[in-house]
Amino acid sequence: MSTAIAVLGGVGLFLLGMTVMTDGLKAMAGSALRIVLGKAAATPLSGAFWGALVTLLVQSSSAVTMTTIGLVSAGLLTFPQGLGLVFGANVGTTGTGWLVALIGVRISLSNYALPLIFIGALAKLLGSGRIAAAGGALAGFSLVLYGLTTLQQGMGDLAATLHPSDLPAVLGTAGVGWTEGSIGLVILIIVGLAMTAVMQSSTASIAVTISAFFAGAINLEQGAALIIGQNIGTATSSALAAIGASTTAKRLALAYVLFKLIAALIAIAAFPFTAALMKSLSSSIDGMTLLAAYHTAYNVVGVAVLLPATQWFTRIVERLLPSRQTALQRALDASALASPVIAIETARRVVATVLETTSASVSAALSDGASRSAQGAETAATLEEVRDFLSELKQPPETEGERLHLTSILHALDHASRLAEVVADGVLPGSPAGAGDDLRLTELCRKAMRAAQEISGSITSETALSAKASPIGWNVSAETARALREMEGAAWELDDLQRDYRAATLASVAAGELTAADALTRIETARRFDRIVHHAWRSSAHLLGHGEVPNQEA
């Protein structure tokens, strides 16, 4: 009974320590986690590299996966690029196995761990910001070490009653036939899968496996068989998390499951050869290191096989899970709300898309000279969804830059909503009849709408890969800056022109050139042109982070 308590207590301390350490590391990384992942995935290969590195640093493949889901949903990464990050996260998460093999089971660190837990807890309770996060990470790491020591003690007692011969023999074991070894291999794979499914942590189950080998409870081949099952078991948590989630989350979860299954099939097919190789190396390399290396190699081989076939793999996943969501629903995915950086960029792109569509509608009406029915209700509903989306942010922006960007997005959203109201008020104005100032009004509005389309199009076509500013995006090219200057000039000129236009148009009624009804209609059209251009300009400026305007409504 005491043995079971020691083993379970060691596993519990290990899981608790991993959770606390991961939370601390994620808090220390802050928005840098999203920025690095967003900029690093230029290709699936670079995404795999950085996904592995970031996962190794923050010790959480789930954090990388959830961030990737938000980036893909927001359109900042393509699905193949997101797959590269997820593949890499599988390799990065094997780093803890090396910690267990090289330190955890060899050295009793409980005497050092307890003071470190106290120091870390003190920093977390009394500090703030990154100091508190660092304290949490230190306390969590120390709990992991203490848990490993407790687990090691429990496994030592277990080894007194459990011997490798008590477990099914697997392929590669001396004197074991093909049939018996294959059955034993399958049984231990299922046991490993069940261990991870129950613990909800492949890292913890692999720590148990390495500790059991160190204690002599299992042999090398049995440990490798358990690791195969434990790797498959990590897919169960992803599959459960995808229930009721967005299509993007379900696709990445499915890709994760398929990756684990394909890697497992490769490992099973190669097991007789790898078991023989590990056996030959065991005379010069200790078994714990070999099991940690097998865990890493297992995932590296899976990535190496699937990475060159990413496009093909993507098509398979998309066919298995076709998307029934609109582009807007995919963009405003709830998973993006966990990260202020991604949520802000998501809202920015949706507002830019609305601005691009509205500007194109106005421009088309001006080009053919005919009034057109507006789709203002649909546009207004979209902008309301953006407002509700931002209202559900799970945490405030972390940096001053992010806070300024959120403020800019809210300004842009406000002006886009006012633009939608103006455009939805009846019909889109066609070209005013007449000449002179009438044509100039039309020309200025058309010029501004073309510039608005150019600016919003540059935003929606941006990728996180081209972003050099921080946070993601917010680049202003020379062409975009020129378009914004054109809009500003058109807005100021229209504002001045329509004031004089009103007096001249009303005077033309007294001269018998226009009826009162025609004159008032022209004045209203000019006023609407002015408001359309103004709100389109201000929304565009805020979308680019250039919102400050002296003596003018922001």
* H/E run at residue 428: strand 427-428
Note the pLDDT of residue 107.
Answer: 57
Single-letter amino acid, residue 255 = A
Note the pLDDT of residue 285.
Answer: 85
- How many alpha carbons fall within 13 Å on the CB side of residue 95? 16
Tens digit of pLDDT at every position of the chain (554 positions): 566 676 677 667 666 766 676 666 566 555 555 666 666 666 777 778 877 877 777 666 666 776 677 677 666 677 787 888 888 888 887 877 777 777 755 555 556 677 777 787 878 777 777 677 778 777 776 776 666 666 655 655 554 555 566 678 787 777 777 888 888 888 988 988 887 777 666 777 787 888 788 877 788 888 888 889 888 887 776 666 666 666 777 787 788 888 888 888 998 988 888 888 888 888 888 888 888 888 888 888 888 888 888 888 888 888 887 766 556 666 676 766 767 777 888 888 889 888 988 888 888 877 765 554 445 567 778 888 888 888 887 777 767 777 888 889 899 999 999 888 887 765 555 555 555 566 788 888 888 999 999 888 888 776 543 333 344 446 677 888 888 888 899 888 888 887 777 788 888 888 887 788 888 888 888 888 888 899 999 999 998 887 655 444 44
Residue carrying the six token digits 């977390």:
124
Using CA atoms, how far apart are residues 23 and 29, in angstroms rounded to an integer? 10
Note the pLDDT of residue 547.
Answer: 62
Note the pLDDT of residue 18.
Answer: 60
Please state the domain extents for the chain. 2-320, 339-543
Pairing label, strands 427-428, 372-373? antiparallel
Q: Tell me which residue of 494, 479, 374 sits closest to 443, measured CA to CA.
A: 494
Note the pLDDT of residue 553.
Answer: 47
Kindly report the pTM of this predicted structure: 0.63
Residue carrying the six token digits 């019909």:
427
CB atoms near residue 549 (< 10 Å): 14
Note the pLDDT of residue 154.
Answer: 61
Note the pLDDT of residue 537.
Answer: 92
- Structure tokens belonging to residue 34: 């999203």
> b/e string for 128-156 if b means 16 or more Cβ within 10 A?
eeeebbbbbbbbbbbbbbbbbbbbbbbbb
Residue carrying the six token digits 């080009």:
367
- DSSP states along 174-234: TT--HHHHHHHHHHHHHHHHHHHHHHT-HHHHHHHHHHHHHHTSS-HHHHHHHHHHHHHHH
Using CA atoms, how far apart are residues 163 and 167, in angstroms rounded to an integer? 7
What CATH fold (topology level) applies to the domain 339-543? Methane Monooxygenase Hydroxylase; Chain G, domain 1 (1.20.58)
